[in-house]
Chains A and B, each alone.
Chain A
Amino acid sequence: MAIAVERRPQVVARRRNRRRAQRGVAHLLTYLGLLVALVFFLGPFFWIVTTSLKGNEDFFTFPPVWIPPDPSLAHYAALFTRSSGARYFTNSLVISSLSMFAALVVSLPTAYAIARWRFGGGLLSTVLLVLRMLPAIALIIPIYIMYKMLGLTNSYLGLVLVYTVLYVPFAVWLLVGFLREFPMEIEEAAMIDGCSRLRALIQVVVPIIAPGMAVVALFAFIATWNEFLFAVVLTGIETKTMMVLVTSFTSGGTDMFYGEASASVVLGVLPAFAVAFMLQRYLVKGLALGGTKG
Chain B
Amino acid sequence: MRLFALAVKRKRWEPWAFASPSLALIALVIIFPLAYSFWLSLNNFDLSVGAEYEFVGAKNYQEVLFRDPRFMGSVWNTAVIIAPSLVLELVLGLGLALLLSRVARGRPIITALLAIPAMVSPVMAAMAWRMMFGVKYGAINNLGLQLGLIDVYFDWFASTALALMSVVLVEVWHNTPFMMLVLLAGIQSIPQELYDAAKADGARPWQSFWSITLPLLKFTMVVGVMIRLIDLTKLFGLIFVLTYGGPGSSTETVAFTTYLAGFKDFRMSYAAALSYVIVGGVLVLTLLFMWIQRLREARAA
- In the assembled complex, the Cα of A42 lies from the Cα of B230 at a distance in Å of 26
Kindly state whether residue A9 has any CB partner on chain B within 8 Å: no
| Residue of B14, B244, B276 touching A138 (CB-CB under 8 A) | B276
Residue pair B259, A265 in contact (C-beta under 8 Å): no
Q: Is B88 an interface residue (CB 8 A)?
A: no
Using an 8 Å CB-CB cutoff, how does the interface string of B163-195 with A read, 1 for contact, 0 for none? 000000000010011100110010000000000
For residues 151 through 197 of chain A, which have their beta carbon under 8 Å from a beta carbon of chain B? 161-162, 164-166, 168, 172, 197
Q: Is B79 an interface residue (CB 8 A)?
A: no
Chain A residues in the interface with B (C-beta under 8 A): 26-27, 30-31, 33-34, 37-38, 40-42, 44-45, 47-48, 51, 59, 62-64, 106-107, 109-110, 112-114, 116-117, 119-120, 124, 126, 129-131, 133-146, 161-162, 164-166, 168, 172, 197-198, 222, 225-229, 232-233, 243, 246-247, 249-250, 254-255, 258, 261-262, 265, 268-269, 272-273, 275-277, 280, 283-284, 287-288, 290, 292-294
- The reply to whether the CB of B2 lies closer than 8 angstroms to some CB of chain A is no
Closest chain B residue, CB of each to CB of A27: B102
What are 27 of the A-B contact pairs (CB < 8 Å)?
A30-B103, A31-B103, A33-B95, A42-B116, A119-B15, A126-B290, A130-B283, A137-B275, A138-B279, A140-B262, A142-B33, A142-B34, A143-B29, A161-B25, A166-B29, A168-B26, A222-B119, A226-B121, A228-B240, A229-B237, A246-B124, A247-B240, A255-B137, A275-B119, A280-B112, A283-B115, A287-B119
- Which one, B17, B22, B142, contacts A106 given CB within 8 A? B22
Do A44 and B129 form a contact, CB below 8 Å, given A268-B124, A272-B119? yes
Judge whether B160 is part of the interface by a CB distance below 8 angstroms: no
B116 and A272 contact, CB distance less than 8 A: yes
In the complex formed, the residue of A with least CB distance to B230 is A133
Residues of chain A lying within 8 A (CB to CB) of residue B135? 255
Chain B residues positioned under 8 Å from A62 (CB to CB): 142
B95 with A284: CB separation less than 8 A? no
B residues in contact with A64, CB < 8 Å: 137, 142, 146
Tally chain B residues at the interface, Cβ within 8 Å: 92
Whether A37 contacts B99 by the Cβ 8 Å rule is yes
Other CB < 8 Å A-B pairs besides A229-B259, A280-B112, A283-B115, 12 of them?
A: A34-B114, A41-B176, A64-B137, A109-B22, A133-B282, A137-B278, A145-B268, A225-B121, A232-B240, A272-B121, A287-B181, A290-B231
- When the two chains form their complex, are residues A277 and B112 in contact, meaning their CB atoms are under 8 A apart? yes
- State the majority secondary structure of interface residues on B: helix
Cβ 8 A contact of A139, one of B30, B120, B176? B30
B73-104: CB near A (< 8 Å → 1, else 0) gives: 00000000000000000000001100110110
Known contacts A129-B286, A141-B40, A141-B262, A165 near B25 by CB under 8 Å: yes
Contacts of B134 in A (CB 8 A): 254-255, 258
Query: In the complex, how many residue pairs between chain A and chain B have their CB atoms under 8 Å apart?
Result: 269
B70 interface contact, C-beta 8 A: no
Tell me if B131 and A48 are in contact (CB < 8 A).
Answer: yes
Q: Do residues A292 and B118 form an inter-chain contact, with CB atoms below 8 A?
A: yes
Query: Closest CB of chain B to A92's CB: distance in Å?
Result: 11
> Which residue of B21, B121, B137, B138 contacts A294 across the interface (Cβ within 8 Å)?
B121
Shortest Cβ distance from residue A112 to the other chain B in the assembled complex, whole angstroms: 6
Contact of A44 among B21, B173, B289 (CB under 8 A): B173
Q: Given A44-B129, A137-B259, A145-B40: A30 and B123 within 8 A (CB)?
A: no
- The answer for the CA separation of A225 and B237 in the assembled complex, in Å, is 13
Instruction: Specify which chain B residues have a CB less than 8 angstroms from the CB of A258 in the assembled complex.
Output: 131, 134, 137
Cross-interface CB contact of A265 among B96, B127, B142, B286, cutoff 8 Å:
B127
B129 partner residues in chain A, CB cutoff 8 A: 44
- Residues of chain B within 8 A of A166, CB atoms compared: 29
Most buried by B among A30, A164, A228: A228
B130 touches A250 (CB 8 A): yes
In chain B, positions 103-157 with a C-beta closer than 8 Å to chain A are: 103, 108, 110-125, 127-132, 134-139, 142, 146
Q: Assess whether B119 is in contact with A59, with CB atoms less than 8 Å apart.
A: no
In the assembly, what is the distance between CA of A38 and CA of B278, in Å?
A: 36
A30-B99, A48-B128, A137-B234 known; A110-B18 Cβ under 8 A:
yes
Tell me whether A141 and B131 are in contact (CB under 8 A).
no
CB distance from A219 to the nearest CB of B (A): 10
Does B222 count as interface, using CB distance less than 8 angstroms? no
0/1 per residue, B17-49, Cβ < 8 Å to A? 111011101101110011011001000000000
Q: Which residues of A contact B276 (CB under 8 A)?
A: 138
